[in-house]
Amino acid sequence: MFSKVGGMVVAGHRKLDHEFAFIKEVSSYFKPYRAKQTLVPVGDDAAVYRPAEGMGQVVTTDTMVEGIHFKRETMSSWQIGYKALAVNLSDIAAMGGRPTYFIISMAIPDDWTLDELLEIYKGMKHLADQFEVDLLGGDTVSIPDHLVISVTAIGEVEEDVRLLRSQAKPGQILFVTGQLGNAAAGLDLLLHGRPADGHPLPEALQLLLDAHQQPHPHVAQGRLLAQFAREYAISLNDVSDGLSSEANEIAAASGVDVVIRKEQLPVSRILLNYAHQRGIDPYTWVLGGGEDFVLVGTAPVEAVERMKQAFAAQNFPFYPIGYTTEGTGCVWLEGKQGKVRLDPMGYNHFRQKRD
């Protein structure tokens, strides 16, 4: 399960020179919500749990690397931990699943203190408590530079539910479950938009910062869509790499064309105002910014009104933003001047590095 970092972890006047002390402190943060299902918890060589009857197991892994996915000058240790778990829970949401467990592995350089590391776990705990997710264990190793956090999340979904990228059919409605572009605008704000005179940011801009630093996984929305997936063919993806990328994944997997109506995209007035101040086209963030962690999918026309009502009953937004047609897996942006081909605009780890 957990292993020690080198031989000793030192933070200011605090030190832990034994892995079991570290395990004990970290484990004390997390409440066991699934004690009856967890046969062997944190602390042994491996964990053992009993899956719920009639449920398929959903497993996902995401890795965050310092300097690429997060910067210490723009995110606190607590926020880094929160986000590391959030991105995984968003993947489970995109499958219509309910998160149950997670495992954390970290490669830690010498310039991270013990207190900072514990704050990472506390950030995860905050989100774990919201969704009643249990920590199953993990691993820690030393590394020369740049913190690496890898989280594996486990969830469950009814065995007859399939919310897949490949489920889109011609003639369906394209939808998203939240606003787009706020996270990318929030990152830009942190890097370039702070007042030079040291004055605090306007309160309204906190929406953008929160979207980048503390995204909220749309698990409840995914569970709602899972109910409809038993009756209708629904495709689903989460917006992690940008709407243009996720829409292209759905189009390619389903063999349909996806048309995004620019005028229907849900964009906050705060984002539009900030983009105007920065002299940036807001749709570069809306279509390609990524890390919004809302859900995007397609559903039959006859299901959409019922879906709107179900979402409204729980005070969740539901935005139709386009449609699907017969095609060859292309995505189109439809505006006042007609349609243009929309290629993936999001971040590609094998093609580029973040600024």
In this predicted structure, the answer to whether residue 10 has a pLDDT above a threshold of 90 is: no
Predicted TM-score of the model (pTM):
0.91
**How far apart are alpha carbons 135 and 147 in whole angstroms?**
20
Binding residues for substrate: 69, 291, 347
**How far apart are alpha carbons 58 and 55 in whole angstroms?**
9
In this predicted structure, the answer to whether residue 353 has a pLDDT above a threshold of 50 is: no
**How far apart are alpha carbons 248 and 256 in whole angstroms?**
10
Tens of pLDDT, residues 304-345: 999 999 999 999 999 999 999 999 999 999 999 999 999 998
Strands 331-335 and 338-341: antiparallel
In this predicted structure, the answer to whether residue 349 has a pLDDT above a threshold of 60 is: no
- What is the pLDDT confidence band of residue 43, given thresholds at 50, 70 and 90? confident
Residue 348 confidence (pLDDT): 53
Binding residues for ATP: 121, 138-139, 165, 240
Binding residues for Mg(2+): 45, 60-62, 91, 139, 238, 241
Q: Which domains does the chain have, with CATH numbers?
A: 9-158 (3.30.1330.10), 165-341 (3.90.650.10)
Strands 331-335 and 256-261: parallel
Residue 202 confidence (pLDDT): 83
Mean pLDDT of the chain: 91
- What is the pLDDT confidence band of residue 154, given thresholds at 50, 70 and 90? very high
Binding residues: 45, 60-62, 69, 91, 121, 138-139, 165, 238, 240-241, 291, 347
Query: What is the mean pLDDT of the segment spanning 55-64?
Result: 98
